[in-house]
């Protein structure tokens, strides 16, 4: 049921390859536990993942993308954009004003749709308005597994190791319109 499908952000998706063992295990537990269920990820969060992976070496991409492609193809990930009400929430809600645009929009989306949000992002996890909407990684089944062929692709994809520095080039608050000519 779509109403029960939790939201995820780029940090959870990329977290399966994170250098921090705790983040990696929590992200893997999420995806393995939800592999046969539906989840939601907005277009912007998917684009952030691509922006980070495309900055990796060609070799890392060639080993990562077969896993990512199969996961996106086989898992029931509902990809969606924003509703105007979600954009308005991101702009008008005082608590969201200090966030980066992609954070505020994701928070607005989860609030508007009354959905659960799984994120590792401390800024989102610290919002009082999201407190009752945050997914609990500790409640996931740590024994859940991917199908064997997907697990094999995951093992190969681990040549990509996600670090905090990977976010540096997707920082949006300092972009100027002239940085991205049409």
Q: Assign residue 140 the CATH number of its domain.
A: 3.40.50.1010
Residue 83, domain member (yes or no): yes
- pTM > 0.85: yes or no: yes
- The CA–CA distances, whole Å, from 19 to 61, 105, 109, 163, 165 equal 17, 27, 29, 6, 11
And the tokens for 152? Answer: 């094999």
pLDDT digits (tens, 9 = 90+) for 57-96: 999 999 999 999 999 999 999 999 999 999 999 999 999 9
Provide the domain count of the chain.
1
Q: Residue 95 has what pLDDT? A: 95
Strands (E) in 43-174, as ranges, are: 76-80, 117-118
Decide if pLDDT at 123 tops 80. Answer: yes
| pLDDT class of 128 with cuts at 50, 70, 90 | very high
Residue 177, domain member (yes or no): no
Domain that holds residue 60: 2-167
Q: How far is CA 108 from the centre of its chain?
A: 15
CA angle 12, 18, 23 (to 5 degrees): 60
Is-contact 13 45, C-beta < 8 A? yes
DSSP state for residue 59 in the 8-state scheme: H
Q: 77 φ, ψ to 5°?
A: -100, 115
Decide if pLDDT at 101 tops 50. Answer: yes
pLDDT digits (tens, 9 = 90+) for 144-178: 999 999 999 999 999 999 988 777 656 554 333 33
pLDDT digits (tens, 9 = 90+) for 21-58: 999 999 999 999 999 999 999 999 999 999 999 999 99
């Amino acid at each position: 049921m779509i109403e029960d499908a939790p939201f995820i952000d780029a940090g959870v998706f990329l977290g399966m390859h994170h250098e921090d063992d705790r983040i990696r295990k929590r992200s893997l537990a999420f995806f393995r536990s939800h592999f046969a269920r539906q989840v939601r990820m907005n277009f912007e969060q998917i684009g952030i993942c691509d922006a980070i992976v495309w900055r990796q070496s060609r070799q890392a991409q060639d080993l990562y993308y077969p896993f990512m492609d199969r996961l996106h193809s086989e898992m029931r990930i509902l990809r969606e954009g924003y509703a105007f009400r979600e954009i308005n929430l991101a702009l008008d809600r005082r608590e969201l004003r200090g966030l980066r645009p992609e954070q505020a929009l994701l928070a607005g989306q989860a609030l508007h749709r009354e959905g659960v949000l799984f994120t590792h992002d401390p800024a989102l996890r610290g919002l009082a308005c999201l407190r009752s909407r945050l997914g609990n990684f500790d409640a996931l089944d740590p024994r859940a597994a991917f199908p064997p062929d997907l697990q094999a692709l995951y093992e190969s994809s681990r040549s990509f190791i996600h670090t905090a520095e990977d976010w540096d080039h997707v920082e949006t608050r300092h972009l100027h319109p002239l940085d991205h000519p049409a």
